[in-house]
Amino acid sequence: MEFINPPKELPQNVIHKTFYSEVINHELGYNIFLPSGYGNDEKKYPVHYHLHGWTDNESSDIWILNDIYKNKQAITVFPNNSPHIENDENIPVENIIINEFIPFIENQYRADKNQPNRSISGFSMGGGMAFYYAVKYPGLFGSVTACAGTYHLYYHKDYKGVGEPPSKAVELYNMLNEERYFKEDGILNLVNKNKEKIKGTLRIKMHVGSEDVLFCDNEIMHLYLDSLHIPHEYRIIEKAGHELTKII
């Protein structure tokens, strides 16, 4: 694993830094955007966390999302959260992000720690992680935006829907009625268990391309949220594949 990945060039008001993780006894890289007024006032700012995709790093999406965060009066943070390393190198990414990194950021910077002003997003595997954290820890985030989220690994390790055509989505969704898809730490079980806490407190946005290999992953989650009457925004971008630049 590459623990620290500074970008070749930084967008305006973005800084690359590191924080020390006691869990893995190592420094980890992150990028942070501080609003233009941050250095001139003492107020606290909303804070947004963005999780990158499989095999990417903390610098992968900072330019792609620059037009979105640069004009917002919010702190935006890009941690090195690779799920690739969690699975292949046995590094507990969830523990690091939830129990170390978020508290570190919100104590180090003037972040508004109230739930409505803490949000999270992600792309691909990062999108699935962002959604998973948001429903697993109700009350932590006020909103979640999952771009082409990877959910199948959170459904069940034997799920085989990646790359299936959109026409297969309903069939795959019906298959998820099987008991094995509702294991205790599975994403469907967490959504169901926490649905009353999620409703009214968590704003959910899901975006996916109509030609994305993960379309069925997203359609299934959309159908499941609908079945539980959980409000959410579901946007399909026509002709877009698995590309963050087109999805946003």
5 HSE (CA, 13 A, CB side) = 17
**Amino acid at the residue 175:** M
Q: What is the largest CA-CA distance in the chain?
A: 56
Task: Please choose, from the candidates 125, 132, 164, the residue with its C-alpha nearest in 3D space to the C-alpha of residue 148.
Answer: 125
Report pLDDT for 158: 79
Closest to 77 measured CA to CA, from 149, 17, 147: 17
**Alpha carbon distance 53, 55 (integer Å):** 6
- Can you give the pLDDT of all 248 residues of the chain as single tens digits? 789 999 999 999 999 999 999 999 999 999 999 998 898 888 999 999 999 998 899 999 999 999 999 999 999 999 999 755 445 556 789 999 999 999 999 999 999 999 999 999 999 999 999 999 999 999 999 999 999 999 998 998 778 889 999 999 999 999 887 888 888 888 999 999 999 999 989 999 999 999 999 999 999 999 999 999 999 999 999 999 999 999 98
Domains of the chain: 14-247 (3.40.50.1820)
Angle at 148 between CA 65 and CA 182, to 5 degrees: 135
Q: Are 108 and 62 in contact (CB under 8 A)?
A: no
H helix runs in 19-166, sequence order: 66-69, 83-89, 93-95, 102-108, 125-136, 152-155
User: With the CA atoms of 153, 147, 167 and 159 taken in that order, what torsion angle do they form, in degrees rounded to the nearest 10?
Assistant: 0
Q: Provide the pLDDT for residue 177.
A: 79
Question: Which pair of structure tokens corresponds to residue 177?
Answer: 């009625």
- Residue 204 pLDDT: 98
Q: Other C-beta atoms within 10 Å of 135: how many?
A: 26
Nearest by Cα to 69 from 92, 36, 101? 36
Rounded Cα distance between 58 and 234, Å, is 26
Name the residue with tokens 């903390």.
58
* Number of neighbours of residue 89 by Cβ within 10 angstroms: 11
> What is the pTM for the complete model shown?
0.95
Q: How far apart are the first and last CA of the chain?
A: 28
Token pair of 49, please? 């966390």
